[in-house]
Structure 1
């Protein structure tokens, strides 16, 4: 943990404004909507004087990129393999705050607010100001002790506390995280274009994944750990690991075939208390079907075909793309004829483009 003054990040607001003006936030409408409050902690809570910034290492026991070669299984980001970290971390912060308040001043004079990634607060630059680490070239926080695997939380208070020294950048000439990105989501070091980030594409994006990016997603069905896992500072994280997320065994390497069969009730039950549940069945199946299309395994074609009649057009469109990647051109054309009555314009476009692609690939 470390302490930052509420006015410690005057540079963060202008940088955020430029990022939004560049459109790099994609469809995350809440970013421009909250930009003014996010620019400075006092804009969100005028009484705030200091922030206790806390980082919790959640580094995995293995390299999460190993599953990327198992193309018939889905890769779920490390942070999402267990229960929702928001509730996990918030409970810990509340316990700390409950002990801090009685010791910090006269009754009724000390106020605190607890935040875990859900309020318009710029946790990463604040954490750097508090000395926890620095924002690396992948824009995430990096610690010399914990590597790139850090959950961040904040306890804001109206007390003026002695601030810690900010951490300085230790990335040097290294660009391992930038080179590891499958979709080239970093137009420059320390800048990310969310519209190309797999975490954004599989979680935040509500519609169809852009066609040119689908093959690059591979079997990543929820988030992406590649830039984090590539960070050389991770070699020190194991030395100080104070917590290991209780990952659910079924989320380590789930079979795509199994996930493709989830109806809404089964999806909700399987991902109960998990951050995965928040994106809903349709977006999740979109991701699974993209992974099936990238699997190269024709045995998974029936799992995609069953979704050509799904009630949600987002799922139907993803199923079309997957089948075009797996089936011979003639078989795909015959399947297209069977579904000539498709009523959704976007799905009809998927059929048309997929027919053209299929014919070209198998010519």
Structure 2
């Protein structure tokens, strides 16, 4: 049983049913039933046309449910005019499904869950495990999302920017449970890039690949974090880096710069440096300036301040940091790092301790606590 094939076909089949007249909830339910049937039948009787088989079975499941529904009379036209199995034209149903799952009426959390369910083909249990919530909670979230988009029709172009934000949210969840959400986000973004020639889609894919390439070096065997400057660059995936750079260069050549392309350019400059000392921080600051001209992102401003500290010295970085809201996530950690770079060990140790107390993840808290302990030991010595 090819689970990857089933997951890749799921959004296409849902989209076909929706275009034929099924509402989203009914289509998604019918496709899930068809997938269960495929798991049961395919090992002994593999179909010659997997997509056509799924469309035919899912449509039959939908019609069975429609006949049993109280609104049967309203659906009789669909039953009487049953189309032939398989796609009937060249409409890209998968692309439309991306737009539907990232509909502006959904909250980010709901859009992510619905995307993983309908486009990614994951089960509710898998999504719940990935987000470390009870399965019942995730089921309610997905059900609410499906009800919200039930009456949405594909009569207007979708918002690519919203789809990309949802995919980036998935990517940033990283890895937990049995589902590698970073890898899943890359897979979905690859599919989107194959369906739409858009510079920012390419930019997001390049950004994901460049970040994912550094993943093997980000943690030690005990799970503790390894800062970028201390990572073993020999562990970086050079194949992913090369692919990301190629995709980025092709996107930049179209001269329609967007925020994901700018972020990918920054990641590419980090990947290009053979050692931390060889990092081109001046160019990185310039790319942050380009990024901030397109989005007033406070996290980008924070990262720019740190980059300024590397390019122009820690005092310049602290001056840039002083212009930002001290309540920003990781503001205190950035201040601690820059104060240490400036030689103010006492202030840096205090700030590392403060940052550890407000850290949002256990690995980050442990890392900051160790940094504070290291500097306090130096002060005592």
Q: Please indicate, yes or no, whether the TM-score normalized by the shorter chain is above 0.5.
A: no
Q: Which has the higher contact order (CA 8 A, sep 6+)?
A: 1
Q: Which has the higher strand share?
A: 1
Q: Which has the higher helix share?
A: 2
Look at both structures and tell me which one has the larger radius of gyration over its CA atoms: 2
